[in-house]
Structure 1
Amino acid sequence: MTVALQARDLCRDFRGFQATNHVHLDIHEGEIHAVIGPNGAGKTTLFNLLSGFLKPSSGEVHLFGERIDPLPPDAIVRRGLSRSFQISSVFPTLTVRENLLVALQAGTRLPGRFLTPLGAMDAFSARADDLLAQVGLDWARDRPAADLSHGEKRQLEIGLSLAQNPRVLLLDEPTSGMGSEGIARVIALVREVARGRTVVLVEHNMSVVAQLAHRITVLQYGQVLATGTYEEVRRDPRVIEAYLGQEAHP
């Protein structure tokens, strides 16, 4: 299988604290791959390294065979990797549709132009409407993003991540803080957006992981403890001891 995203011997040191410690990771093209582990295991640090928001102390990151860790985040996005964040990052005073329009023009030359006709945004209208429908927010297109529920903002954030048409999408805690109805919507949405692309998600909810992930990587103390299918991981004694506990035996 083609390796879409690869970490090789990836380390990140924060003044003596090893947040990631010689991490090796192969994400196959077309799979949904979950990264799990207890708090402080290094999951978000790993996402920041993969997406260019942090530079590794040592090691490398490759996207479809190209080394990307020396690149800034915007250059990594242009090469086909996009991400969402654990904390909501929408523009609250803009409408839902305007949020998507801003995201769509971000990858063009428009943001660097001092004077741009308002009509230039019309070129993105059809794509914005498509994204609204894809993430299930066409009904809220003209509402301020601040009016959305927590779960709906997460849906919008996925839409913002999709605006650059990524080949690899990183989702950081996509169901965090949601009730069962919101979780069900996001599970369906992730399955939809995973068609034709690779998805990597950090997720604490093991029910979500079980329903979505083809493979799982477990982190502990910044190191890879295990990688495998849900059934393989949930029965691994090291994983049970480190993280899953009784949750491994529903």
Structure 2
Amino acid sequence: MTALSARGLIKEFRGFRATNQVDLDVQEGEIHAIIGPNGAGKTTLFNLLSGHLHPNAGEVQLYGERISQLPPEAIVRKGLSRSFQISSVFGSLSVLDNLLVALQSRSNLPGQFWRSDEALRQYEGRARELIDLVDLTPLTDRPAADLSHGEKRHLEIALTLTQDPRVLLLDEPTSGMGSEGVARVIRLVRQVAQGRTVVLVEHNMSVVAELAHRITVLQYGSVLASGSYDEVRRNPKVIEAYLGEEVA
């Protein structure tokens, strides 16, 4: 079954075409990587898939339902969540409280300003499960601002999981990490991919090789190639445009 698909996606900014007739098919249960040089259109494509941008032409479908013109919050409710390149945690809140705030967002609590903080505690069990899942249990009560870069990335993944997504988009989850942090993220992505579909933008080709079932390569806003890691790494156009000796 196709979980997420795009057909003919075009997005222009003042005459500049950031994505040009992009087609994408992500099958249910797979880890699908989107790669390409800087400026290839990867982030624009992610923004189109998640509703943070609307296309000038083309459409996006989630499990066969058109979502191209929906706002991001409606797309989240339909089962697609995403992380961002830039940290988006609440620095003044603890790891636990970050997750409590995210979990209650699906309820009517945000509009009930007269309720005490104790109303959030109904979500504490699930919050602690997610903290354990992303290996942050010793940091449960620590302010998010005090976390390392890698720890914040783990918290961000936990935040996306509060919405119980069927499809999870991860934007450069290993960016800025050393080898140890990268290895932890690889293990985490494998774990959170169990029972859901994952699409990731990633520059680290060793991460792509470890995780991706299929890869889509972008160049100048267009799809240059698509296939398995082995198929893509042997594609002469891809080697010339982006990969070179890195995956030889």
TM range (shorter): over 0.9
Correspondence 1:202 to 2:172 = no
Quote the Cα distance in structure 1 between the aligned partners of 2:117 and 2:14: 48
Q: Which runs of 5+ in 1 are unaligned?
A: none
Correspondence 1:138 to 2:119 = no
Quote the Cα distance in structure 1 between the aligned partners of 2:70 and 2:115: 28
Q: Paired residue for 1:110?
A: 109
Quote the Cα distance in structure 2 between the aligned partners of 1:113 and 1:234: 53
Superposed displacement of residue 69, structure 1:
1.0
- Give the secondary structure class of the aligned counterpart of 1:175: coil
Give the residue type in structure 1 aligned to 2:63: F
| Cα deviation digits, residues 179-205 of structure 1 (max 9, x gap) | 011001000000000000000000000
Superposed displacement of residue 113, structure 1:
2.3
TM-score by length of 1: 0.98
Q: Paired residue for 1:183?
A: 182
Q: Paired residue for 2:88?
A: 89
Superposed displacement of residue 217, structure 1:
0.2
- Give the secondary structure class of the aligned counterpart of 2:216: strand
Give the residue type in structure 2 aligned to 1:191: R
Identical amino acids, percent of aligned pairs: 71
Quote the Cα distance in structure 2 between the aligned partners of 1:190 and 1:158: 9
Quote the Cα distance in structure 1 between the aligned partners of 2:80 and 2:222: 23
| Cα deviation digits, residues 27-64 of structure 1 (max 9, x gap) | 00000000000000000000000000001011100000
Correspondence 1:236 to 2:235 = yes
Give the residue type in structure 2 aligned to 1:140: L
Give the residue type in structure 2 aligned to 1:214: H
Quote the Cα distance in structure 2 between the aligned partners of 1:39 and 1:220: 9
- Give the secondary structure class of the aligned counterpart of 1:55: coil
Superposed displacement of residue 112, structure 1:
2.1
Superposed displacement of residue 102, structure 1:
0.7
Q: Paired residue for 1:4?
A: 3
Q: Paired residue for 2:44?
A: 45
Superposed displacement of residue 167, structure 1:
0.1
Q: Paired residue for 2:62?
A: 63
Give the residue type in structure 1 aligned to 2:104: Q
Q: Paired residue for 1:160?
A: 159
Quote the Cα distance in structure 1 between the aligned partners of 2:92 and 2:119: 21
1:121-132 map, 5 Å: 121-132=120-131
Superposed displacement of residue 123, structure 1:
1.1
Quote the Cα distance in structure 1 between the aligned partners of 2:60 and 2:112: 32
Give the residue type in structure 2 aligned to 1:237: P
Give the residue type in structure 2 aligned to 1:190: V
- Give the secondary structure class of the aligned counterpart of 1:243: helix
Superposed displacement of residue 174, structure 1:
0.1
Quote the Cα distance in structure 1 between the aligned partners of 2:247 and 2:77: 39
Correspondence 1:21 to 2:23 = no
- Is 142-151 or 116-125 further displaced after alignment? 116-125
Q: Paired residue for 1:32?
A: 31
| Cα deviation digits, residues 62-117 of structure 1 (max 9, x gap) | 00011011111000000000000000110001000100111111121111223222
Superposed displacement of residue 215, structure 1:
0.3
Q: How many residues in Structure 1 have an aligned counterpart in Structure 2?
A: 248
Quote the Cα distance in structure 2 between the aligned partners of 1:116 and 1:57: 43
Q: Paired residue for 2:97?
A: 98
| Cα deviation digits, residues 138-191 of structure 1 (max 9, x gap) | 110000011111001000000000000000000000000000110010000000
Q: Which runs of 4+ in 1 moved over 2 A?
A: none
Give the residue type in structure 1 aligned to 2:24: L
